[in-house]
Structure 1
């Protein structure tokens, strides 16, 4: 195997220069070190000799002072002068003190040995009074250890201190000689600086000389390097200039020969490459076009499609797939393991190991696979029911991956479940439907369930509520019915809605007496329910199978027949109760409507009598007048009692009351003959009334009578706070005669009033 050669950016000239300068610096460092070492050795010897001479000189001065001035021993100024002369022009010090007391005998620092006070008293100056801590420290150490040489720090300098003893039979003195290191290091520093300057100058001169020679000698190499670089960049016309016949010149000749050969080959190759490039471009354009078309097709499909490699990592995903899985970009899935990304758990969130993954297994087996009982997981952590196909991809005999197509079947699953549910349950109440009831009736008809009781029921007033309030309220009544039945029964009992308003309950292991108790409980509970002011009621009957030989179908028919018998007997009372509920509900909402109904009925009777109608017709028109506004049961309390002008929406609702009243009255035998009258009581003589726009005598006579009676009562009824006077009402009605009202009816009305 070949090794990659690391590219160096440094030129040969630079490398040689660096090496040369490094050698020079190292040489200068070695020479400087040798010189520095010699300087140190010289300085050390010179320092030792100087200190020794200085000690001897000071000792001799003291000895001379003793020998020649002994009789003037107290005159220490002479000693001070000698010591000062000895240390003149130096930083050295010489001090003489008494060994035992530390009293100052003489010094070279121009300090008085005695302090003389104004009263003539003298005070001896001791060594610790001089202000030189180093001297004090050396003195104390000497007394303790008898060490005679010290090197102590004194602010910014080091002091070399020697202590000599001078003893006679008269005194015991100590001679301190002090010399700072600066006296000697200055010369050393000067020598070092001179050495460094010499080295720098030498190095600079050498480098300059090298650069001049290198430029002269290596210029052809630089030229060759430049030519080689241009040639490498594609300029095959470049040739090197041969300046000398040395090694560089030989390299230049070889380069020129190689360049000629390469240029010749390139000229032939260029044409071939151009042809091949054109062919390759055409092929690539075709591939890209096919790829783009395929991608467009994939992204146009409603189904999600993604590709997998052999380990289930994603290779592509179309737009529908990204949308179904909740991702924004394909890059979020490319390279990701799709099992861990979208297929990691079952619908109940229990983990699905990759070894159990049927998609991965299909890839390994190289077999097509289909499933519609699993889920895929979206990016946001939610799941959806999925139907998918796995199609393995082969390259020759080798499996290279698979393509998975899938779609969200959540809604179809829900629809399927709903269909299954509706096939067995009533969509309104959630109870079993007739088909399941028939099956349950057969399955429950076994000996262990004896006695078996069946309750058959029919809800009263469902059609009335549907006609008044619409089927939404009717469904509410059915739902409440189912709730009452469930509350009255056991979990083992079977309840079914077998018709529009018919319900059946199967009660296994239930005696006839118990069934009747359940029936009564249902009636009691149902009577407490209320839909739009109409209290619920239900007709119920039961029968019981006691022995196995009895036909369960006969028991069912008996219960049904008994229920309809009861319903027929109670029909009048049921209808009366329903009718009363409607009117009571209306009057609870508006006291004005109750008074209005009575007033209109009375006025209608008077008009009919004045018109010479038979007593039966008078009674009929009075009844119609009393119930003419029964359709207002659907209006809100606020609208019924509103005294200001109605808005458009409220007016539209109010105008429906005659049609709703017509429907209500048609439901009862007692009122069916007045339904058309109530429907038309807001028609006008000129045809501009509602709901049909009838005109003139097309309008039933009794409706025309009610129209005048209602108008008068509405004008004069002061319960709302805005009634007008009797006379004013008569004038208005007279003015609208032949327009809104039948002139004959108005004439009879005016005759009565």
Structure 2
């Protein structure tokens, strides 16, 4: 009967999914269940050759030893979670329960260890930890964990600390004008730049929609100042190599002690906003200007320039006796009419074939994207309607609305002629520049279809023989 019970017990052990092993009082492995081979790749002989401190992950070995000592001391089962090395080298998380084994005299002779694979559970726990501590979009620490870190610093020793606050300029403009996918990419780019500026152990968090914070304990004022300068240089370097969607980041910093951490944070935040206000008041600074500079870097295959187009429309404006303010607004239109192209994929802008329907629609959306960007940008919001309608044709075959005749704003009809002339007489990567005379003939040929015929007549009368000399 005892033999029968023993066979029955062995049959159960050999078919268990859980790992079962027997260890004697000297720490030698005397038995392992067949599940060891399935889960960890070992048979008894191969496992016996591996020292325990190599089989168990180095970070977990001390905890495993403590569990075994607890069983020896209390002679009661104890539980521990450790990583065990698979025969091929990777680790598997197991939950192990150590049971004391006794001889016939009641003396402890070893342990029975029952373990189960908890790798998937650990992955889920890590995922939940990531969600509780990290920002899902950027991979940096989130606001909640940032507050916890601040609290730990407050409660610790009173040491020097630096705080850097960074704010991504124009995020709302990009979200509204181009879309949240573009805005999300800006935030990812900002996070990437910040991460590259510091060591892996530096505490960097996304603390708001467009705001990031860096905590630098044990840092001098000189080191924090240098770190802020490093960020600003990294942004410039990024914009020089990634022209499609440039970044503008306002940076503020302050230094104090952990005992006054809240005041240090507020000072850094205030300095960041001062920098943002200072930059926004600088002549020529705006996110719109940044985007236009990026567009010009993308369109390197042309010898045309925004300055030339502005000059041309100024000359035609004078012929039409427009006011100085109207001419200045037309110069803005010349500068920003294609700002919406930042939302058009490169594969469409630089394709070397005739557009298919999907590509044509993607290209035509640039006027609507530009309209949204202009509406959200101080200084050009009043020309947003012109940006929207600058591709309308006189015969109603343009876009986006198919307006015709005088339904099209007068300024757009003026701009259409000058823009077409500039495009024809500028070199492109796919063709040489056309002559002044050929361009004039093209305008006349398309009068009444693409262009306002009366405005074409005035343009030709003024410039038919020779366009004034330019420096562009």
TM range (shorter): 0.5 to 0.7
Give 2:190's match in structure 1, choosing from 452, 475, 478. 478
**Per-residue displacement from partner, 1:443-472 (whole Å, max 9, x unpaired)?**
101462323332222233555666568246
Give 1:678's match in structure 2, choosing from 379, 384, 387. 387
Q: CA deviation at 1:439?
A: 1.3
Q: CA deviation at 1:617?
A: 0.5
Name the counterpart of 1:450.
159
**1:556-635 equivalences in 2 (<5 Å):** 556-573=265-282, 576=285, 581-591=290-300, 593=302, 595=304, 597-633=306-342
Name the counterpart of 2:253.
542
The change in CA–CA distance for 1:554 and 1:615 in structure 2 (over 3 A counts) is same
Matched, 1:746 2:456: yes
2:394–2:449 contact (8 Å) kept in structure 1: yes
1:449–1:509 contact (8 Å) kept in structure 2: no
1:484–1:522 contact (8 Å) kept in structure 2: no
The change in CA–CA distance for 1:707 and 1:554 in structure 2 (over 3 A counts) is same
Give 1:721's match in structure 2, choosing from 425, 428, 431. 431
The change in CA–CA distance for 1:565 and 1:310 in structure 2 (over 3 A counts) is same
The change in CA–CA distance for 1:744 and 1:453 in structure 2 (over 3 A counts) is same
1:526–1:538 contact (8 Å) kept in structure 2: yes
SS in 2 for 1:714: helix
The change in CA–CA distance for 1:377 and 1:683 in structure 2 (over 3 A counts) is farther
1:687–1:696 contact (8 Å) kept in structure 2: yes
Name the counterpart of 1:516.
225
**1:122-521 equivalences in 2 (<5 Å):** 310-312=9-11, 339-340=35-36, 342=38, 350=55, 414-446=123-155, 448-460=157-169, 462=171, 470-471=182-183, 473-487=185-199, 491=201, 493-521=202-230
SS in 1 for 2:304: helix
**Per-residue displacement from partner, 1:250-293 (whole Å, max 9, x unpaired)?**
xxxxxxxxxxxxxxxxxxxxxxxxxxxxxxxxxxxxxxxxxxxx
1:495–1:506 contact (8 Å) kept in structure 2: yes
**Per-residue displacement from partner, 1:213-270 (whole Å, max 9, x unpaired)?**
xxxxxxxxxxxxxxxxxxxxxxxxxxxxxxxxxxxxxxxxxxxxxxxxxxxxxxxxxx
Q: CA deviation at 1:518?
A: 3.1
Question: Following the alignment from structure 1 to structure 2, what is the Cα–Cα distance between the partners of residues 637 and 383?
Answer: 44
1:655–1:690 contact (8 Å) kept in structure 2: yes
Question: Following the alignment from structure 1 to structure 2, what is the Cα–Cα distance between the partners of residues 644 and 313?
Answer: 71
SS in 2 for 1:456: strand
The change in CA–CA distance for 1:553 and 1:718 in structure 2 (over 3 A counts) is closer
The change in CA–CA distance for 1:693 and 1:576 in structure 2 (over 3 A counts) is same
Name the counterpart of 1:24.
none
TM-score relative to the length of structure 2: 0.64
2:248–2:287 contact (8 Å) kept in structure 1: no
Question: Following the alignment from structure 2 to structure 1, what is the Cα–Cα distance between the partners of residues 296 and 361?
Answer: 21
SS in 1 for 2:333: helix
What RMSD over aligned residues (CA atoms) do the two structures have, in Å? 4.7
1:684–1:741 contact (8 Å) kept in structure 2: yes
Question: Following the alignment from structure 1 to structure 2, what is the Cα–Cα distance between the partners of residues 628 and 594?
Answer: 18
Q: CA deviation at 1:343?
A: 5.1
SS in 2 for 1:504: strand
Q: CA deviation at 1:726?
A: 4.6
Question: Following the alignment from structure 1 to structure 2, what is the Cα–Cα distance between the partners of residues 439 and 691?
Answer: 51
The change in CA–CA distance for 1:705 and 1:316 in structure 2 (over 3 A counts) is farther
Larger Rg: 1
SS in 2 for 1:453: strand
1:665–1:671 contact (8 Å) kept in structure 2: yes
Name the counterpart of 1:699.
408
Question: Following the alignment from structure 1 to structure 2, what is the Cα–Cα distance between the partners of residues 527 and 681?
Answer: 32
SS in 1 for 2:133: coil
Question: Following the alignment from structure 1 to structure 2, what is the Cα–Cα distance between the partners of residues 520 and 510?
Answer: 15
2:279–2:285 contact (8 Å) kept in structure 1: no
Question: Following the alignment from structure 1 to structure 2, what is the Cα–Cα distance between the partners of residues 412 and 749?
Answer: 75
Q: Which runs of 5+ in 2 are unaligned?
A: 1-6, 18-32, 43-52, 57-78, 96-115, 464-472
Q: CA deviation at 1:711?
A: 2.4
1:457–1:539 contact (8 Å) kept in structure 2: yes
Question: Following the alignment from structure 2 to structure 1, what is the Cα–Cα distance between the partners of residues 225 and 314?
Answer: 49
Matched, 1:708 2:417: yes
The change in CA–CA distance for 1:478 and 1:592 in structure 2 (over 3 A counts) is closer
Q: How many residues align?
A: 386
Q: CA deviation at 1:556?
A: 1.9
Q: CA deviation at 1:746?
A: 3.3
Q: CA deviation at 1:474?
A: 1.3
The change in CA–CA distance for 1:581 and 1:482 in structure 2 (over 3 A counts) is same
Q: CA deviation at 1:349?
A: 9.9
Q: CA deviation at 1:436?
A: 1.0
2:162–2:255 contact (8 Å) kept in structure 1: yes
Question: Following the alignment from structure 1 to structure 2, what is the Cα–Cα distance between the partners of residues 715 and 440?
Answer: 61
Q: CA deviation at 1:620?
A: 0.9
Question: Following the alignment from structure 2 to structure 1, what is the Cα–Cα distance between the partners of residues 405 and 121?
Answer: 59
Q: CA deviation at 1:657?
A: 3.3
**Per-residue displacement from partner, 1:189-228 (whole Å, max 9, x unpaired)?**
xxxxxxxxxxxxxxxxxxxxxxxxxxxxxxxxxxxxxxxx
